[in-house]
């Protein structure tokens, strides 16, 4: 982009700002979703699926499992007992194990089994 084009863009932004076009935008004053989580290699696929409201069933198995791993803290927060947390992580690990053994449709899995004890400890800590 040339300096002239950049100045034109800046002018358009300033004019729009003066007209109030940036007031009351959705999400204004709210934290950016996912800012506290590390980005995965396939972050753009997750964002696209969420934006397009693509159901988990439409995703390839590796991406579906990746989404489950990303959502695991929220999933576990809804459980009331340590036994239920262990069971949920064991269930997810069973699906991960099956995907690791392969063959799997779509992209390869980019993570391994989850540490059950670490998941339980994090669940306890979140419960306060």
> What does the domain layout of the chain look like in residue ranges?
1-30, 32-127
CA angle (29 as vertex; 27, 31 as ends), nearest 5: 75
pLDDT at 106: 80
- CA–CA separation, 124 and 50 (whole Å): 29
pLDDT at 45: 73
Q: Please write the tens of the pLDDT for every residue from 39-64.
A: 777 777 777 777 776 666 677 888 88
Q: Is 51 helix (H, G, I), strand (E, B) or coil?
A: helix
- CA–CA separation, 120 and 83 (whole Å): 9
Q: Please write the tens of the pLDDT for every residue from 67-110.
A: 899 999 999 999 999 999 999 999 999 999 998 987 878 888 88
What is the phi/psi pair of residue 96, to 5°?
-65, -45
């Amino acid at each position: 982009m040339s300096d002239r084009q950049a100045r034109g863009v800046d002018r358009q932004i300033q004019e729009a700002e003066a007209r109030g076009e940036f007031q009351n935008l959705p999400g204004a004053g709210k934290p950016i979703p996912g800012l506290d989580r590390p980005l995965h290699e396939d972050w753009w696929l997750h964002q696209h699926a969420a934006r397009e409201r693509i159901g988990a069933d439409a995703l390839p198995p590796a991406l579906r499992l990746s989404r489950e791993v990303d959502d695991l803290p929220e999933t576990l927060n809804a459980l009331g007992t340590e036994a239920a947390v262990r069971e949920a992580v064991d269930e997810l690990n069973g699906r991960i194990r099956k995907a690791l053994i392969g063959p799997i449709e779509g992209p390869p899995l980019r993570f391994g089994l989850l540490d059950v004890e670490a998941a339980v400890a994090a669940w306890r800590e979140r419960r306060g």
